[in-house]
Amino acid sequence: MIDNTHFSAPFEILQKKSLRDEVFDLLSARLIAGKYSPGEWLRQEELASQLGVSQTPVREALDLLVSASLAERVPYRGVRIRELSHEEILDAYILRLQLESLTVRLAALNTTVSQSAQLLAVVEQTHPLLTLQDMPQLRQLNRRFHSLIAEFSGNPLLARLYEMTSNIFPDWMLYEYLFRHPEMLLPNLEVEFQEHLAIVQAVAAHDAEAAVRCVVEHIRNLGQSLVHSLGLPQDMLARREAQILPSIQFPNQIT
């Protein structure tokens, strides 16, 4: 079991899992809580000593952080927290806006009753997660929700493209912002829950146009969160949105 005496905050109390998963949960919770800065190095030997475990579970946990896009591996140097420019963040946001509008349109046309129930179950799991300590779990569930929509589009290649895009999107930075502004936590979580619920309802009703409208509203609200929390220039975001929103909201009709 990891020695957690140096980090006794409630969100870092660990459950019985493999050491790899315990270390991963602890590091991701610290990251979302703002204890690591973008670009900061995560030293395997130092972490192992600090946590009272061998280097093997730490190395495996760092691999998980990289695969979850919370960190990046630099050849011959190690692992560090990802650091993204405004342009990289905006590129990921615009591509996510385009891809999610397409995946949800197809999901609304193809999703089965069972798959709709899966989407609703994930959304319902997020509703009781209302504290700062819940943010790592909430992040995982929200990513699961959007990934399922892509999976239910019925297009495996599109789903893989979406996964690549979502891995670049800096959602963990938005959760970290809530740690610094806890007064915004409950209002933001309620809005997010209602937006996800509206998406599920549109998909379950096989209303593709409504599903796209709900997703566009949801992702654009995330875009505004990027402006307020990460300092992304509003005019830069608005210019890029104006280039692609007409094709999303008013697609060419095939006759």
109 found inside a domain = yes
User: What CATH number corresponds to the domain at position 94?
Assistant: 1.20.120.530
- Taking alpha carbons only, the member of 50, 14, 42 closest to residue 136 is 14
19 found inside a domain = yes
Which pLDDT value is given to residue 194?
97
Which pLDDT value is given to residue 7?
40
Which pLDDT value is given to residue 255?
36
Last residue of a domain, one of 81, 105, 125: 81
Q: 179 and 233, same structural domain?
A: yes
Q: 172 and 102, same structural domain?
A: yes
User: What CATH number corresponds to the domain at position 42?
Assistant: 1.10.10.10
Name the residue type at position 242: A
Last residue of a domain, one of 23, 55, 81: 81
Q: Report the Cα 77 to chain-centroid distance in Å.
A: 26
Q: 25 and 107, same structural domain?
A: no
Q: Are 97 and 244 in contact (CB under 8 A)?
A: yes
* Vertex 234: Cα angle to 233 and 240 (nearest 5): 95
- Rounded CA-CA distance 32/180 in Å is 10
Q: Which residues are within 8 A (CB) of 229 and not within 5 positions of it... i.e. 6 or more apart?
A: 173, 174, 177
Which pLDDT value is given to residue 126?
96
pTM above 0.85, yes or no: no
255 found inside a domain = no
75 found inside a domain = yes
Tens-digit pLDDT profile for residues 128-152: 999 988 988 898 899 999 999 999 9
**Count of CB atoms situated within 10 Å of the CB of 38:** 13
Q: 128 and 195, same structural domain?
A: yes
97 found inside a domain = yes
Last residue of a domain, one of 47, 81, 115: 81
The conformation of residue 133, written as its DSSP 8-state character, comes to G
Start-to-end CA distance of the chain, whole Å, equals: 63
Q: 58 and 121, same structural domain?
A: no
Q: 119 and 233, same structural domain?
A: yes
Give residue 14's domain range.
10-81
**Domain total for the chain?**
2
Give the residue ranges of the chain where pLDDT is below 50.
3-15, 253-255
